[in-house]
Amino acid sequence: KKKKINSPVVEKRNKEPETSSAERRNKELAEEQRTSDEEKYQQRNKEPARNKN
């Protein structure tokens, strides 16, 4: 038995989650970047004397 990989239904079903997962991944990356930036900013504000030369 061979699976029908190229059937239009499967293609359509495979395309949609790809885009949604890509969008979700981009959103997660953006949030990750924002949180890491906030953490860096907070760490900078915690010890300004030690970090500044």
Tell me which residue has tokens 């915690």: 46
Q: What is the pLDDT of residues 32-47, one digit of tens each?
A: 888 888 887 777 777 6
| CB of 42 closer than 8 Å to CB of 48 | no
Amino acid at 38: E
Phi and psi for 2 in degrees, rounded to 5?
A: -110, 140
pLDDT for 39 equals 82
pLDDT for 2 equals 64
Would you give the DSSP letter of residue 16?
A: H
Mean pLDDT of 14-25: 72
